Amino acid sequence: MSAAEFIARLPQATLSLVFLILSQGLAQDEPCQAGPVSTQSGEVCGKTLEAEGKTLMAFLGIPYAESTAGPRRWMPPVPKAPWAGRLRTIQFGDVCPQNYDTSKLPPQSEDCLSLNVWTPQLPPQGGGLPVLVYI
């Protein structure tokens, strides 16, 4: 059976799933605009942004703890398990559940323990940069 005959016999849902898997693999192989940067859980790959004529690097939605859903609800956070490969951190993580009109907020989820990091440059090897934290 040729590849074309095989593909012709696959149901549409299977083709969609194959395409999704292939496209995710290709997206993960794209070069980083910013980084990669090593964290305790694995490498992250960010993006670059322009603001007031300057280039910034953004690492968005970096998970720092496991989801607080199910049996972990109302428990102290558990550090995020290490991941394999590079995690693409190019969009904000989900917002933690809110008790008011959230129609203008990004999606909500109990898997919301993530950080957004912006930097004008990556620190030198073994060095650091000043940090400002907003809560």
Distance CA 76, CA 113 (A): 12
Alpha-carbon dihedral of residues 18, 23, 28, 30, nearest 10 degrees?
Answer: 150
pLDDT in tens, the chain (135 residues): 444 444 455 444 333 433 333 333 334 557 899 989 999 999 999 999 998 999 999 999 999 999 988 999 999 999 999 999 999 999 999 988 887 776 777 788 889 999 999 998 887 777 777 777 776
DSSP string, 53-96: TEEEEEEEEEE-B----GGGTTS---BPPP-SSEEE-BSPPPBP
pLDDT tens digits, residue range 31-63?
899 989 999 999 999 999 998 999 999 999 999
Measured distance between the N- and C-terminal CA atoms of the chain, rounded to whole angstroms: 60
